Chain A
Amino acid sequence: MKYIDEFRDKKSILSLLEEIKKFSSVEASIMEICGTHTHSVSKYGIRGALSKNIRLISGPGCPVCVTHQADIDAIIDFSRNDKTAVIATFGDMIRVPGTFSTLESERALGSDIRVVYSPLAALDIAKENPSKKVLFYSVGFETTAPTVAASIIEAKARNIKNFTVFSLHKLTPPAMKAILDSGDVLVDGFICPGHVTAIIGASAYEFIARDYGSPCVVSGFEPVDVLYSIYMLLRQLYLGEAKIEIEYERVVSMDGNKKAKEIMAAVFEPRGSAWRGLGLIPGSGLKIRPAFAEFDAEQAFGIKAADSSYVEKPGACACADVLKGRITPFECLLFANPCTPEKPMGPCMVSSEGTCAAYYKYERAS
């Protein structure tokens, strides 16, 4: 597969690991803010291949993990109250536990819940079933939001009346700022999400280098990309630099994808959003603009996205601390026993992107 195989080349991987070893004098805590990066790091065993001076932390990059429990309860309640409606969702969300249930369980109990790979598939369901209400349960960061915006615009153009979107989209730079402001974690540098940045542009992170002195490297997802990005971060730290670099240059620019940004801005506007583990972060969520109100599930059905400043009370479930990168899953008292992918206690375990699920699958052999 072109542009994948070359970036999985074994020789390149091993050479980059050797280059990284040359920075043995640099102590670094590096945070990645993307579930797909967590997945790659774990899948290729990168953490185990790096020496102890480098600590890789998984930040809140998984929309499934950071979606507030109340937002999961809201869609489950909706599905229970209206069994004729169709709920379309990305596969990622189907097993995420709310307070009492999951979409998968509700489907078994008779709710019409369908997994889609694209928001356009949800739109097709609406078109093919004009008498049914179709609600798209919309999660994802800035990579996904433009695709949903384009789908809403398409719905308007095709005059589709039975399609709505429950927007739980979240934005990356505000989350990074919240982590840096919280002072709970000392992060020396960030591996920034490649596809989010393809949309928003690397200049979105300039405030991190400028105001917080943290180097950032925008990374692709293959093992060569991730290792090269780690190398670039270590090089900056070694030289005492703090700037934005782009490893994933073949796809990412400083300005991003102007057209995608315009489409996203035409349909969505920022609003405060409650993140599991991080509480309320101002301007970190996306709301559907009044011009597209007819496609807003919150308007149509009275469901409300969680925007309270509720933060989970301290208890045995340490998802909040795992998300902030304060602890590794190994340090959670529930990890692997009793919290497992079959019996997840919190979203970090249920999502295949969740830090704990990734650790459970990949990190326990060492």
Chain B
Amino acid sequence: MKSGTILLSHGAGGKLSHRLIQDVFLKAFKNPFLEPLNDQAVFPSPGKRLAFTTDSYVVSPIFFPGGDIGKLSVCGTINDLAVGGATPLYMSASFIIEEGLELEELAKVVESMAKTALMAGVQIVTGDTKVVEKGKADRLFINTAGVGVIPDGVDVGPSFMEPGDAVIISGTVGDHGVSVMRERGMITLDVDVESDCAPLHELASAVVSTGFVKAMRDPTRGGLITTLNELALSSGHGILVKEENIPVKEEVRGVCEILGFDPMYLANEGKMICIAGKDGAKDVLKAMRKNPLGKDAEIIGEVIGERSGKVLLETSLGTRRIMEMLSGEQLPRIC
């Protein structure tokens, strides 16, 4: 089954479905938990405390510079577990395919998932496939769930945040947002920006082992500022960041200036916000920068005692302004 298109019959549970599962999914996701092809995957309990997450991926286009919807789904699942201090172990992957998708494209996405999972030591142990009529799904949707184990002694979360803690970002912001915008034809600018889509489990593990990490979160849609707002709300504290400390790639800055976007509100898919105890901030930064995914890490601000639940930005003039969550999609403007 090397070429052709996906038909409704591929999702109907009969011969074609089975061939699809064998030739595409099983071939890529080789592991003993999946091979029996039971309705469920059975595995021994990996530890006392488990972390469990779920997500759906509907990105359009499904292929973009630096990644694809498959890689995104595996990284996203891994990252949601990793920022909770968990070691990601097992994943499910459910596919909703629009009739007419090229088999070759599906195979490419699935291979990308397998490759990413293998590199991260994660196994895709169970899944599902449905096919819907043309127009009922935007080419391909993927839903995942992921299970990880939290090692003894690791306890992270917004409830541990305190005024004085440092706010650290693992690298440049807005890369994914710009790369996808370009592929979507939203902008006709000629710019070389790849998505930062990446699994952050090793980076998370490296910083957690310093012993100074209070909380972590990966900023995705809505950008850095939206995720900082979530941390501020969950912790009940305020967060103050310095605009000039936030790392932005030159190209991303250029696109944003031309179209009137704010990079702090653009999507990321391979970055981490880390809240670290004041005394350990430099150690955490050092640990981050040792990892290739954290080489551009910066301390961008601190947790503060006032303005509970709010995010404040300090401008180059030293004045401060409140930064709300993103309300609605950012659009190119002339004004």
Chain A residues near B (Cβ < 8 Å): 1, 4, 8, 10, 13-14, 17, 35-36, 42-46, 48-49, 62-64, 90-92, 94-95, 104, 115-117, 121, 140, 144, 223, 341-342, 351-353, 360-366
Contact = CB atoms under 8 A, between A and B. Distances in A.
B38 interface: no
A44 B315 contact: yes
B254 interface: yes
A136 B283 CA distance: 55
A43 B307 CA distance: 19
B119 interface: no
Nearest to B253: A1
A96 to B, nearest CB: 12
Nearest to B314: A45
B324 interface: yes
A365 B312 contact: yes
B332 A115 contact: yes
Interface of B: 186-188, 253-254, 257, 259-260, 307, 312, 315-324, 327-328, 331-335
B251 to A, nearest CB: 11
B322 A91 contact: no
Contact of B322 (A44, A117, A365): A365
B265 to A, nearest CB: 11
B317 A49 contact: yes
A35 B316 CA distance: 21
Given A95-B328, A223-B316, A362-B321, A1 B254 contact: yes
B319 A45 contact: yes
B315 A91 contact: no
A144 B335 CA distance: 9
Given A95-B328, A342-B327, A353 B335 contact: yes
Contact of A365 (B254, B257, B320, B327): B320
Contacts of A94: 331
A74 B244 CA distance: 44
B333 A361 contact: no
A13 to B, nearest CB: 6
Contacts of A364: 321-322
A92 B334 contact: yes
Contacts of A1: 253-254, 257
Contacts of B324: 341, 360-361
A328 to B, nearest CB: 16
Contacts of A361: 321-324
B335 A363 contact: no
B318 to A, nearest CB: 8
29 contacts: A17-B317, A44-B315, A44-B316, A44-B319, A45-B315, A49-B318, A49-B319, A91-B333, A92-B333, A92-B334, A95-B328, A104-B328, A115-B186, A115-B332, A117-B187, A117-B334, A140-B334, A144-B334, A341-B324, A342-B328, A351-B335, A352-B333, A353-B335, A361-B322, A364-B321, A365-B307, A365-B312, A365-B320, A365-B322
Given A364-B322, A365-B312, A46 B317 contact: yes
Given A8-B316, A63-B335, A365-B307, 6 more contacts: A10-B316, A13-B316, A45-B315, A362-B322, A365-B321, A366-B319
Contacts of B253: 1
Contacts of A13: 316-317
B335 A35 contact: yes
A48 B318 CA distance: 10
B335 A45 contact: no
Contacts of A45: 315, 317-321
A366 B319 CA distance: 9
Contacts of B323: 361
B322 to A, nearest CB: 5
A4 B254 CA distance: 11
Nearest to A364: B322
Contacts of A342: 327-328
Contacts of B186: 115
A89 to B, nearest CB: 10
B317 A366 contact: no
Nearest to A357: B327
A95 B330 CA distance: 11
A364 B334 CA distance: 25
A223 B323 CA distance: 19
Contacts of A116: 332
- Looking at B320, B331, B333, the one whose CB has the most chain A CB atoms below 10 A away is B333
A42 B333 contact: no
Nearest to A13: B317
Contacts of A95: 328
B228 to A, nearest CB: 15
Contacts of A63: 335
A92 B330 CA distance: 10
Contacts of A140: 334-335
A283 B312 CA distance: 44
Contacts of A46: 317, 319
A45 B257 CA distance: 18
A62 B324 CA distance: 22
Contacts of B187: 117
Given A361-B322, A362-B321, A43 B334 contact: no
A117 B332 contact: yes
A347 B159 CA distance: 39
A90 B316 CA distance: 30
Nearest to A95: B328
Contacts of B327: 341-342
Contacts of B328: 95, 104, 342
B34 to A, nearest CB: 39
Nearest to A120: B188
A20 to B, nearest CB: 12
A223 B321 contact: no
Nearest to B312: A365
- Looking at A42, A45, A223, A341, the one whose CB has the most chain B CB atoms below 10 A away is A45
Contacts of A352: 260, 333
A366 B333 contact: no
Contacts of B316: 8, 10, 13, 44, 223
A90 B333 contact: yes
A223 B319 CA distance: 13
B283 to A, nearest CB: 30
Contact of A64 (B254, B317, B335): B335
